[in-house]
Structure 1
Amino acid sequence: MSKIHLPDPVKLISSIFSPEKDILAETIRRLFKEFGDTDYISKLIPFDYTDYYREEMGGFLVRRFISFDTLIDPGDLSRVKLFTNSIEEDLAREGKRRVNIDPGYISEAHLILATGKKYTHRPYIGDGIYADLTLIYRDRTFQPLEWTYPGYAEEGVIDMLSRMRKKYLVQLAEIKDAGRRMR
């Protein structure tokens, strides 16, 4: 029989893209209000990996990555995705999204994104939401997988996510150390 082990808390992150910078800012404001302080907001990055969003959102898309200071329970990811879906719906115009929000988390071992799209590598986590194993951490860096979206596989993004992971490991060590001191 295997022993039950509760997971460590994880670092909440999100990728946000839109053709409108003010919509990005409003989205970040709403995420900040719900999930607390951010400890990282990337510069604007062109999102030009696919034409998939062109019809719905328009032409030139820009993206930001953010991470949050407060760690979360990985079991909360479906709730996070439902909240970000509500922002997308609220900011839509004439039934078309003006922002795409891809929340996820960084752990010691991987980057997981939340999605409503089921597929073979996406286990169901509840509330109509699936977990997408996007990157794994091996050989001192994040490694893309055969299904990893190009926007997460490029070197600059992997470097940025690795910096977020380093911050996360410091936070996790502090939590574990505080727990040891309380006993």
Structure 2
Amino acid sequence: MGAVRSLNPVKLFVGVLVSDRKLLPPIEARLTEAYGPVDHRSPVVPFDFTDYYEADMGDIIDRMFLSFERLIEADQLPEIKRQTNQLEQEMAALLPIVKRPVNLDPGYIEHAKVILASTKNFYHRIYLGGGIFGEVTMHFKNNTYHFFPWTYPDYQSRDYQEFFLRIRQIYRSQLRTMCILNRPTGEE
């Protein structure tokens, strides 16, 4: 019989899509109020990988990622997704420029994988509870991230990879400081 173990804490990040770059500072302020200080942010880059969001967000969309200093328990992700959905709704009510001025995609990094939260079910997602699904979107092996057929094209870009590799380094350093880096991780 397998032994039940607790999971190491994980590193929260939020992918932020905006229809106007002026929204980034107030969104970051709200997210830091909820999840603590940001320890790394990606450059802001044009989101031009798909036209999926154009009907709701307009045709000029920018992307930024934030990672948070405070580690979380993995089972907090569904609640965080519900909270970020609420923030999206609040921003839409305040800024009716477009139907959806902001899209927030929380997820977390652990040693061997990147997990995204979603409200949408699909064959490669598992139900986490409270209307939220989880997706392993990338896995880490041989010092780099590897993709699945369902990994979003933007997550495969060099800019995004640099962000995720950097926050993985920060995460591992945090675990070393907490003296828990050597627990079993599932990393190959």
TM bin, normalised by shorter chain, reads: over 0.9
**C-alpha contact 1:9 1:73 (8 A) present in aligned 2:** yes
Say which of 95, 119, 133 aligns to 1:130. 133
> Amino acid of the residue matched to residue 130 of structure 1?
F
**Per-residue deviation at 1:156?**
2.3
Q: TM-score, normalised by structure 1?
A: 0.93
Match of 2:33 in 1: 33
Any conservation in 2 of the 1:24–1:99 contact (CA below 8 Å)?
Answer: no
Query: Where in structure 2 are the equivalents of 1:21-170 lying within 5 Å?
Result: 21-93=21-93, 94=96, 96-170=99-173
* Partners of 1:19 and 1:136 in 2: CA distance: 30
Q: Look up the SS of the partner of 1:24 in the other structure.
A: helix
Which has the larger displacement, 72-81 or 149-158? 149-158
What 5-or-longer segments of structure 2 have no aligned partner? Answer: 181-188
How far residue 154 of structure 1 moved from its aligned partner, in angstroms, is 1.1
Q: Give the unaligned 5+ runs of structure 1.
A: 178-183
Q: 1:32-55, CA deviations, whole angstroms, 9 ceiling, x for partnerless residues? A: 000000001122110011111111
Distance in 2 between residues matched to 1:156 and 1:19, nearest whole Å: 20
Question: CA shift at 1:155, angstroms?
Answer: 2.0
Distance in 2 separating the partners of 1:34 and 1:143: 31
Match in the other structure for 2:17: 17
Residue 76 of structure 1: how far off its partner (Å):
0.3
How far apart are residue 18 of structure 1 and its match?
0.8
Q: Distance in 1 between matches of 2:52 and 2:17?
A: 13
TM-score, scaled to structure 2:
0.91
State the percentage of identical aligned residues: 36
What is the count of residue pairs matched by the alignment?
Answer: 178
Superimposed CA distance per residue, residues 79-133 of structure 1 (whole angstroms, 9 cap, x where no aligned partner)? 1100000010001145821100000000001000100011111110011000011
| RMSD of aligned residue pairs (Cα, Å) | 1.4
Distance of 2:146 and 2:162 partners within structure 1: 11
Describe the SS at the equivalent of 1:89: helix
Counterpart contact for 1:14–1:103, Cα < 8 Å:
yes
Whether the 8 Å contact between 1:38 and 1:66 is mirrored in structure 2 is yes
Which string of whole-angstrom CA distances, capped at 9 and with x for unpartnered residues, describes residues 124-145 of structure 1? 0011000011100011111111
After superposing on structure 2, the runs of 4+ consecutive aligned residues of structure 1 that deviate more than 2 Å are none
